[in-house]
Every structure is written in structure tokens, then in C-alpha cells.
Structure 1
Amino acid sequence: MADLFDVSVPVFLRYLSNLDTILGKTAEHLQLQGTEETEVLNLALQPNMFPLKWQVRIALGFSIRAINPVLQQPIMLDDGPIESIEDIRLLLGNTIARLRNVSRRDFAGGEARLVREKAGQAVFEAKAVEFVTQYALPNFFFHLGMAYSLLRLAGCPIGKGDFDGFHQYEAGVNLVREVQPEPRPLIQRLPG
């Protein structure tokens, strides 16, 4: 049976490693296209949403915010500047290194600990296992997914396989065409 360590640390490490690969592809793509990195790093879906560089920073933060309360360690987030993809990769490398230093032994007895954390302007309080599985992991994936979406929006040649490391498709496969043959309007008008 999986324990709290199994459903957290290896999951964070896998997806942060995948993010590093995605960022490498992104840097290469932007260089080939002659696109300024800052243009993409500041890209947001809406004016009231965080830009790419903050989506990544928040995802990295959730991996630490998930683990440190279980270990009864203070949450110390890396707040270095993000002006380039290399800056993100440096923060990412630091986060991965911190997580690699966490062992299963460190989690002993941690599942039952009560964790109290800010969730926006609210306060979320739960046992560590609920905190990690129902709050931290979903928020990590939300912000990671937002970062992925922003990179796709910017035209970066990445796919679902880059995100999860499992999916593989032949070059040129267009699943949208196969699933949805005719484009539909974004907003459909109701009769009358």
C-alpha cells in the first residue's frame, strides 16, 4: 500500500523533472524563433491571472509547501529573480535537490500531523495526508498545468507526453481533428 511519501515526493520529482525537460525544449524553440524569453515569461491567460513565471514559481512552492509541514520544517521558499528560463531552471534545480534529500524515514508519523496553511485568503486545516492529497497536489498540478498551457499558447512544440512522460504519438498526429471533426464556436447562442 502506498504511503504519504509515495504519493508525494516521487510524484513531485517526476513532474518537476518533466518540467525541466519542457523548459529546455522551450528555450531551444524560443531561440530558434527569435522570441524574447521575457515575452513568454510574462504571458498570462487573462490580466487578472499570474503570468508563466509565477505559475511555475507557485508550482515549485507547492511541492515544498506540501512536504515541509509533514516534516515539521518551516516553509522556506526560494524567491530568486525570474528574468529568464535559466533562472526558472535554477529555482527548479534547487527545488528538486531539496526534495531528493527527503526520505521515507522523514515521513514517519507525519500522516496524522495537523497542518494549517493559507489557501488564498482562507485558512485550510487538515491532517497531513488530506493536506497533501486534497490541497497541495491539486494546486501543484493546477499551476503546472497553467504553465504548460501558457507554453502551448506561446507556440512551444511540447505535448502531453512531455508533461506526463507516458503519452507517445507519431509525428503529425492531430487528435483534435480525430475527435472533433468540425470546429464549434467558443460561445453558442441559444435560440430566441
Structure 2
Amino acid sequence: MSKRFVLCAGLLMVGLFTLALRAEEVGSGGTFGKPVTIPTNVGYAVNVSDDGKAMGVIFDNVVVDLSATTTSQRGTQNQTSIQTKLFTLLLPCKSDDKTLSVTADVRGFVSTDQGARARLIVCAGDATHVVKLTATKEEVVFKGSCKEKLVEESDGEDIDFQDRFRFKLAPKAEKPVCQVTLVLVLERDTDEADSGGGLLAVDSLDFSIGD
């Protein structure tokens, strides 16, 4: 048996062993469960698939609203220039894998006048994702009724958005949870006397284990 053959065989075994370790480290064998922990002032509904691989959370009041400025003899002083909303969801999960790969979809709608800006940030697992608040080529299908309730209150052009991102979890605790934090920000340009307002709402979040 030649030394070259032994060397190649050794390298092949090392490669297979490395792949096996990676497959064990990042897996898709986990499941979601209940109950979900969400602040009591947030209206929501939760659905978990029969196999526990997918979870959907529908909201009805995850909204930030900013009124337009009103110019008067005293100018626009002391008028709100920013509105924020921040809250955290705790989603029970379990797995024998060291690390879980999760795909998340977030959908909602935004309406801003000239001089106003909206931001939506989602922190989950090892990822901090800035959601793209832009129109998509495909129609966004809402799961909740928040838009029906709020769109009449908005004067600007509303945009339906849907964005996807992925993150990893390390379910090491005795009762592991997937912690997801949402940050909604709506602000206006205070240098513009006639800057407008806006509306930002999150309709739902979907999670699925695996790529």
C-alpha cells in the first residue's frame, strides 16, 4: 500500500468526520411548543403545526402611529417627532441538536408622508435583521386584520411588505426558548415645518425549523 494512498484515505476520513460534526452541530430536528410568552398588552394568536416544525404568530395591535405636524403661530415646537414600540416574544422549543437553523418571515404594512421614516428591526437567535419595508413583486397575503382596521386612518400611500431572514439557536437550557425581539420606529424630520406622519404595523411572524 503506497504512502500516497494512505494519505488520501486519511484526508477522506477527516473530511467525512468534519461533515458529520457539522451536520450534528446545525440540525433541523427541533420542534416548537406552547405556551408562547408575549406581553399582555399585545393582541395575538398562535398556531403550531402538527409536527412542531412551524409556528405562526398573528398580531392585531403591533402598531406605531405618528401624526403630522400642525403649523401654528408658535411653530411646530413640542410636537412628537418619534414613536417607538419594543417587545419580546418567548417561543418554547426543544431539540437534541446543538444548534437549530430557523427561517423567519415577517409581514406587515407601512405608510409614510414626506419627511417621515419608518424602521423595523427583528432580533432573533444570532441575528439582528433590518426588515426591508419595500413593496414585493408577489402579493403579500395578510393573516390578521390589523390592516383593515388601520388603513382608513392613514392618508399616505401604504406599502405591503414581506421579508425573510434566517438565524440559529443553541437550545442548551433545561427549558429552551426562542427569544424574538421586535423594534418598531417611526420618526419625522424636525427640520421641516410641514413634515408628515406615518403608520407602521406588523401583521404576522412565521417560523420554520430547517432551511
TM class by shorter chain equals under 0.3
After TM superposition, the score normalised by the length of structure 2 is: 0.23
Give 1 or 2: higher strand fraction.
Answer: 2
Which structure has the highest helix share of the two?
1
Larger radius of gyration: 2
TM-score (norm 1): 0.24
